[in-house]
Structure 1
Amino acid sequence: MRNKDFLNQIKPEFDFDSSTTPKAPDYHLLESWVAHPNKYGNQFLIPNGKLEQKEFDIDVFYIHPTGFFGKEWNSDTNPKLSAYEKSESHITSQVSAFNDACNIYAPEYRQATYYSFYDLTENGYKAQDLAYQDIENAFDYYLENFNNKKPFFIASHSQGTLHAQRLIHNRIINSQVLSQFINAFLIGYIVPTKYMNTIFNNLKISTNAHDTQSIISWCTSVEGFSRPNAHCMYWTPDGWKRENMEQEIICQNPLNWKNSDISIENKMQSSIKVKSSNMSIIDYFATENTNSEFSIAYTESQDFSSKVSSNNMVQVKGNLINKISRFSSNGDLHNFDISIFWGAIRDNVKQRISNF
């Protein structure tokens, strides 16, 4: 959790007002998509290079995490602003894992500000509702104009996963597109098992590397990390709730795709790091897009192991983790949920496609 001083610096000074929200994105415009097959952008990056544009028979619809720390309840989607550039950095570090198997579609949306997750009034929920409205509109536009009956994944992280769960419930599980749905990678936000039948009926919890029409999820930490008193906002068909983060949640170890407390050693090129020419990922108060060029490289060390802990998190250890954990004040490796396992995800996507 962020310290109170930081939260006070980014807390909006007014209530949410639907009449003063930023302009809604227009999804027939390419600039409203952070990643799109017709944009030769960061989604094509690979370690030490960039793939050529290529059309695939499979899509992934990706919802990026929070990159907006402003004092408004929702971000503007203007590409000239820093929030858009942070979205580009998330494209680089996260959904690029899908780029040798899938066409990547990632809408920019009026994401809720980071503070909204700590807000205990209705303002935070209203900000998330507005953000979700954009995601649903983007998904509808994607289905009507781009998908052409292709099989697809849903992939998301953090705030993106909060919205992805709602999207799957509202637009996939009871619709004709269910037959096209391969899997959902719902990473970096709790997915309580108690809501499986309520939110994800017609789907199952993934139990191996090959199953389809299932839910895959994890949150990453160092060994011994826990969050017994932490709560987070959570959407259900009955409305918004505050859920304890220490409960039975869906969790698979990306090194074997099982819910198991057996520690698995990494034996592949999996972990990546992202370099930026101008942007500082930790400059939370930036307002303008610095027009950075991004690149990916494998981390020098790939020495780590992972297991599912008793509190349903993927806990990691090893030389790589010792280096990464210096960027975390408490052992929560939320910002590295995907980059640590980038190569493992990349391989698994192709496995699940082959089995669909």
Structure 2
Amino acid sequence: MARKFLYVMAGLIAIVIAAAFAYRIWGNDLVRMAMVPGEAFEAQAATPESAYADKRMWLARPDIANNPAQWLPTGVQRTEPGAAAVFFIHPTSYLVRNHWNAPLDDAEANARAALFLRGQASAFNAVGEIWAPHYRQATFGAFLTTKADAQRALDLAYGDVTAAFDAFLAQIGPDRPIILAGHSQGALHLERLLRDRIAKDPALGRRIVAAYIVGWPVSRTTDLPLLGLPECTRADQAGCILSWESFAEPADPSLILDTYDASTGFNGQPRKGTPIVCTNPLTGTANASAPAGANAGTLFPDKDLTTAAITASRVPARCDSRGLLLIGTPPDVGPYVLPGNNYHVYDYSLFWANVRTDAARRLAAFEP
């Protein structure tokens, strides 16, 4: 199993290197051609909430063995988890164009998702028990096209997420404080969940300690007012939203911003040109700048990705005028930097220790 996993990771590295080379020559059009499925979307039955009573439908939950969200980097001591229940939606780990949605039993996609939980969801394991569902995620190429099938794929994935969220609520009970977090596609689904569920249920909204919509752009103008929670403006604020997208400099965010600018916000108005929510994870505040010395710890993985060292004072962060988080000179944190100096894969791990502290601070400030 370990050898197979290493083969998978070696293949991923080769894909990223080849994609970066091709991007430099042919640009965004080639990326879209290589990743967007050619087949038509295949409608599938909705997943019922009852399906998530099965432990096998979860990548992480308190009662499963080998929970990847319980991982800790070398040198970090495990503590008794806090009182919160954490609902974490993993990012896209299905990278092929065979289907618009990942089969739930796709071994490679599930292995990547578990790896993402280690570097992302683990930042929250001191504040409470973590629940992270399997779901029929849309493939990576769904984010590179305006085809109607892409939205159908995302809707199918979101249906699974909502079923899992209902099961999560039923199992944690009616009173526990909740932290919501996601990354990339998971953050997109979280944003919809806030609009559809949290904003429309004041009692549920009062239980939210914080919502981390990381690696997905949230428009301050067309989206934020409909999410039921305000943007976090203080480091000790509870009941608010944090969001950032990380780029080293010089940054080329065109692949992200082209899609964002072509989209419609939750209020029905175009997102084009609207400011993006940017929380600086080093300060826990909006539109802020902080030097590398404020970074309490970045994850630097070992070669086989089985563990990581945590090193402080290596990566700065500042929000730019559009709402992107710029991190200065490209740090060497691994081989998965995307075209345009996009450190999307590392949005959490660049600031792992600060996110961990941030969640604990907001939980301490939370008042039911």
TM-score by length of 1: 0.84
Distance 1:49 1:305, change over 3 A: closer
Which of the numbers 323, 332, 357 marks the counterpart of 1:323?
Answer: 332
Distance 1:236 1:145, change over 3 A: farther
What is the CA distance between 1:49 and its match in structure 2? Answer: 7.0
Which of the numbers 36, 52, 58 marks the counterpart of 1:11?
Answer: 36
* Mapping of residues 25-104 of structure 1, within 5 Å: 26-40=51-65, 41-48=67-74, 56-70=82-96, 71-78=98-105, 81-104=107-130
Unaligned runs of 5+ in 1: 280-293
Q: Does 1:231 align with 2:246?
A: no
Distance 1:222 1:268, change over 3 A: closer
1:89 partner amino acid: L
* RMSD of aligned Cα (Å): 2.8
Deviates more, 1:253-262 or 1:57-66: 253-262
Q: Deviations over 1:273-301 (max 9, x none)?
A: 34575x8xxxxxxxxxxxxxx323225x7
**CA distance, structure 2, for counterparts of residue 52 and residue 147 of structure 1:** 25
- Higher-helix-fraction structure: 2
* Mapping of residues 1-356 of structure 1, within 5 Å: 3-19=28-44, 26-40=51-65, 41-48=67-74, 56-70=82-96, 71-78=98-105, 81-175=107-201, 176-196=203-223, 198-201=225-228, 203-227=229-253, 230-232=258-260, 237=266, 243-244=271-272, 247-260=274-287, 262-275=289-302, 277=304, 294-299=306-311, 302-317=313-328, 321-324=330-333, 327-356=337-366
2:332 partner amino acid: K
**CA distance, structure 1, for counterparts of residue 276 and residue 325 of structure 2:** 11
What is the CA distance between 1:268 and its match in structure 2? Answer: 4.9
What is the CA distance between 1:264 and its match in structure 2? Answer: 2.7
Contact kept? 1:193, 1:248, Cα under 8 Å: yes
Contact kept? 2:292, 2:316, Cα under 8 Å: yes
1:258 partner amino acid: T
Distance 1:8 1:22, change over 3 A: farther
Distance 1:194 1:182, change over 3 A: same
1:216 partner amino acid: L
What is the CA distance between 1:214 and its match in structure 2? Answer: 0.9
Distance 1:243 1:82, change over 3 A: farther
Identity %: 24
Unaligned runs of 5+ in 2: 1-22
**CA distance, structure 2, for counterparts of residue 185 and residue 333 of structure 1:** 17
1:132 partner amino acid: Y
Q: Deviations over 1:182-228 (max 9, x none)?
A: 11010001000013465224x21110111111111111112342435
Contact kept? 1:263, 1:307, Cα under 8 Å: yes
1:249 partner amino acid: I
What is the CA distance between 1:256 and its match in structure 2? Answer: 1.1
**CA distance, structure 2, for counterparts of residue 275 and residue 323 of structure 1:** 12
**CA distance, structure 1, for counterparts of residue 252 and residue 286 of structure 2:** 18
**CA distance, structure 1, for counterparts of residue 310 and residue 224 of structure 2:** 39
**CA distance, structure 1, for counterparts of residue 47 and residue 187 of structure 2:** 23
Distance 1:230 1:200, change over 3 A: same
- Higher-strand-fraction structure: 1
**CA distance, structure 2, for counterparts of residue 272 and residue 37 of structure 1:** 24
**CA distance, structure 2, for counterparts of residue 264 and residue 107 of structure 1:** 36
3-state DSSP class of the match of 1:48? coil
1:95 partner amino acid: A
What is the CA distance between 1:147 and its match in structure 2? Answer: 3.9
1:315 partner amino acid: L
What is the CA distance between 1:132 and its match in structure 2? Answer: 0.2
Question: Number of residue pairs matched?
Answer: 333
Q: Deviations over 1:47-101 (max 9, x none)?
A: 12797795542111011110102220100111x6111111101100101001111
Contact kept? 2:315, 2:331, Cα under 8 Å: no
What is the CA distance between 1:128 and its match in structure 2? Answer: 0.2
What is the CA distance between 1:29 and its match in structure 2? Answer: 1.1
Deviates more, 1:212-221 or 1:168-177: 168-177
Deviates more, 1:139-148 or 1:163-172: 139-148
Distance 1:343 1:199, change over 3 A: same
1:88 partner amino acid: A
